[in-house]
Amino acid sequence: MKKLIIISIVIVIAIIGLVFGLIAYSYNQIDVSLSDISSVEIELETLSLSNLISLGLDLLSGNWMAAALDVVAGINLGLIFELSNNGLLPVYIPELSYDLSINGIPIGQGYSEINTTINPGDTKEVQILQNFQKESFSPAMDSILSTEGVVDIGVSGTAYFELLGQSIPIPFESDRQVSLVDEIQNQLNQHTLN
């Protein structure tokens, strides 16, 4: 009888260990990345006489990039995050928080409740709209000018998953390149056509 109890205890401990091993393996197989920037919308300043004069002076001096950035009031980014589960168990991810940078210069933070479950072998895309006003990205203005508007948008952050009522962090880091000049020109063309 004693042997049966010991064998039962060993089997229960082995099963519990196996379950926790599968859980740990599954959660170590989570991958989070910035897969794309679906849209870059430029909010333009309301053009006043002083703005037009400043814009004209910048254009006359050949500083067309500074002129373009002078009319930008804000930037809306459509960030698409890709969440992949290469593990063996479904994973529930309630939230995502991240820091954004332009050419390595921090410009702000974001947070989103995504409340999604990713099954084994599945990948889900989550789109988050992020808005930055001119004050947020003004520290990166010199860098934007030096790269002639081609910017590297970097995202580093943490996705959280739920395990036995505890929130466990999964760090991630990713980047994408965008031409602000092209986006500004598209926005200006749309405003002229309307």
Q: Between the CA of residue 185 and those of 40, 182, 192, what are the distances in Å? A: 12, 5, 10
Q: d(Cα 134, Cα 49) in Å, to the nearest integer?
A: 20
What digits encode the pLDDT tens for the residues 4-35?
Answer: 888 888 899 999 888 778 777 777 788 888 88
What digits encode the pLDDT tens for the residues 151-175?
Answer: 888 889 988 877 667 778 888 888 8
At 121, is the secondary structure helix, strand, or coil? coil
Q: d(Cα 66, Cα 58) in Å, to the nearest integer?
A: 7
How far is C-alpha 43 from the chain's CA centre?
Answer: 20
Residue 153 backbone phi and psi in degrees, to 5:
-90, 115
Nearest CA-CA partner of 100 in 75, 120, 122, 124 = 75
Domains in the chain (CATH in brackets) are 30-193 (2.60.40.10)
Q: Determine which of 40-44, 76-80, 91-95 has the lowest per-residue pLDDT on average.
A: 40-44
Predicted structure pTM score: 0.69
Nearest CA-CA partner of 80 in 30, 124, 123, 37 = 37
Cβ within 8 Å of residue 148, ≥6 positions away: 65, 181
Nearest CA-CA partner of 100 in 77, 83, 116, 84 = 77
